[in-house]
Amino acid sequence: MSNLYQVFRDHFDLSRPLLIDAAGKTIATYQDLEQRSAQFAMALMQLGLKPGDRVAVQTEKSIEALYLYCGCLRAGLIYLPLNTAYGAHELNHFLQDATPSLLMVDPARANDHGAGSILTLTMDRFGQGRLTNLAQDCPTSHSIEPRAPDDIAVIVYTSGTTGLPKGAMISHNNLISNAQTLTSAWGWTQADVMLHTLPIFHVHGLFVGLHLPLLTGSAMIFQPSFEAAAVRTALAHATVFMGVPTYYTRLLSQGIHQKDCEGMRLFISGSAPLLAQTFQDWEAATGTVILERYGMSETGMNTANPLDGARKPGTVGPPLPGVECLVVNDAGDVLPVGETGHLWVRGPNVFQGYWQNVEKTAESFTPDGYFKTGDLAVIDDEGYISIVGRSKDLIITGGLNVYPKEIELVLDAIDGVMESAVIGLPHPDFGESVCAVIVSLPEVDLTPEFIFDQIKTRLANFKTPKKIFFLQNLPRNTMGKVQKNQLREQFSDAAHNQ
């Protein structure tokens, strides 16, 4: 059997804690997970759902939401996590595309969509609602539906920074293989305690943050969201923490120090690039070294800095065992070490294709099975990979390629610069012009003239930003990725004044 839940179940000690609070007190055991997920599976079957049906879930993070996810897995249903920030227009796209048999929403949003024919049930931020009530009256045992390795377990919609979001079909085997690889790579054991503050509608929080504890039968501190003070308190009873770069900068600003981290064996960062300065500041403040890794909705995790060995700032490490990575030019030829190109990946973690989008699926794979990630990368002589940007963010000015990350590293090193984002804006002569958006440190008054003076000897003329803009904050999505498409739109008018 290749049902992901069965693989989890094989590692459960039902008497052990599943969830503990920040003081280390048990909130729920693996026995609770086994029984409550069985009840949810039974409730879903009683509603008429059958293996392969989709369940769209747009609810806040709760213990009951975790039970629902596992209930869907064990019933052979396809789980469809949706960002809680999505509005009605976005939600309607997912519902029309995935045609789910059930939509789970917060009670306040029960009528916030136009697909009236879809069965809609509620679950609030405490996990209470109609489906929870139905499940409570169901038997506490339910069989686990057999699944083939390539049967779809989850559909994850891409962020849709270009065009409409596409549904990545993730199989049971994709999830099993990736979780097993990461468990081994990161030395995860039953004795670990995961401090979970990530949302569970995203690959980071749902697959990585949940699957590794469940695969080892270890405990979690399951907090509804990230709050720096609460994290510092909870670290005393945790051993592993996963976060996005913003979490680490906020903890640093809260004054985290080595004493807070005495019981911690691993801090992991992902979902967005970690600045080298944050990496260094964290090590200086806590005495621990962040492990940065790289993954995608379509692939789960592809690379990671090693558990034992050098963790290089600015890199996402070498490929994980079983994952192959190539850096190629536009013609698909493998590039030498040190040259920037398109990153392709292949392995058992790579998804099955895009839901009801055969054409896009075919475009995204090579004949020999490599997935074209859309990321630009470079590999060093030790096999460590650095992600330097998205293909769509590549700037071509006067026929010359400019990689935003190279310029951002120069800008970020300037005193007074908190962070930067480099974008291309339309230009009548060059096609695109290089422009920079900068966030200053508090109480620092930077000017374009000062920035130009700092970079004029460090960058070739064609790489030097033609315009510099300042913002208080860079626009980010829920997982901390800078939304450069929004910046290009916001400053598009400036292109007409060049």
Delineate the domains of the chain, giving CATH numbers in brackets. 394-495 (3.30.300.30)
Mean pLDDT of the chain: 92
pLDDT tens digits along 172-217: 999 999 999 999 999 999 999 999 999 999 899 999 999 999 999 9
Q: Which amino acid does the sequence have at 70?
A: C
Q: Are 194 and 209 in contact (CB under 8 A)?
A: yes
Residue with tokens 């470079």: 378
In this prediction, residue 159 has a pLDDT band, given cuts at 50, 70 and 90, of low
In this prediction, residue 117 has a pLDDT band, given cuts at 50, 70 and 90, of confident
Is a pLDDT exceeding 80 seen at residue 80? yes
pTM: 0.85
In whole angstroms, give the CA distance from residue 274 to residue 290: 9
Residue 202 burial (CB count, 10 A): 21
In whole angstroms, give the CA distance from residue 189 to residue 191: 5
Q: Which helix (H) or strand (E) holds 228?
A: helix 228-234
Percentage of residues in the chain having pLDDT higher than 70: 96
Q: Are 405 and 370 in contact (CB under 8 A)?
A: no
Percentage of residues in the chain having pLDDT higher than 90: 78
Backbone angles phi, psi at 143, to 5 degrees: -65, 160
Is a pLDDT exceeding 60 seen at residue 465? yes
Q: Is the dihedral of CA 182, 177, 321, 339 positive or negative?
A: negative
pLDDT for residue 498: 54
* Range name among 88-102, 121-135, 341-355 with the lowest pLDDT average: 88-102
Report the relative pairing of strands 240-243 and 219-222 from DSSP bridges. Answer: unpaired
In whole angstroms, give the CA distance from residue 297 to residue 481: 13
In whole angstroms, give the CA distance from residue 326 to residue 218: 35
Residue with tokens 């995608």: 296
pLDDT for residue 315: 95
In whole angstroms, give the CA distance from residue 370 to residue 421: 30
pLDDT for residue 247: 92
pLDDT tens digits along 429-440: 677 889 999 999
* Range name among 82-91, 98-107, 127-136, 138-147 with the lowest pLDDT average: 82-91
Which tokens in the block code for residue 470?
Answer: 């300042």
pLDDT for residue 392: 78
In this prediction, residue 158 has a pLDDT band, given cuts at 50, 70 and 90, of confident
Q: Are 292 and 305 in contact (CB under 8 A)?
A: yes
* Range name among 111-125, 244-258, 379-393, 433-447 with the lowest pLDDT average: 111-125
Residues 6 or more apart in contact with residue 366 via CB below 8 angstroms? 332, 344, 372
pLDDT tens digits along 334-374: 999 999 999 999 999 999 999 999 999 999 999 999 999 99
Which tokens in the block code for residue 98?
Answer: 């995935």
Q: Are 349 and 277 in contact (CB under 8 A)?
A: no
Is a pLDDT exceeding 70 seen at residue 161? no
Is a pLDDT exceeding 70 seen at residue 160? no
pLDDT tens digits along 261-313: 999 999 999 987 888 888 999 999 999 999 999 999 999 999 999 999 999 99
pLDDT for residue 114: 61
In this prediction, residue 391 has a pLDDT band, given cuts at 50, 70 and 90, of confident
Residues 6 or more apart in contact with residue 491 via CB below 8 angstroms? 423, 425, 435, 437, 467, 469
pLDDT for residue 92: 85
pLDDT for residue 163: 60
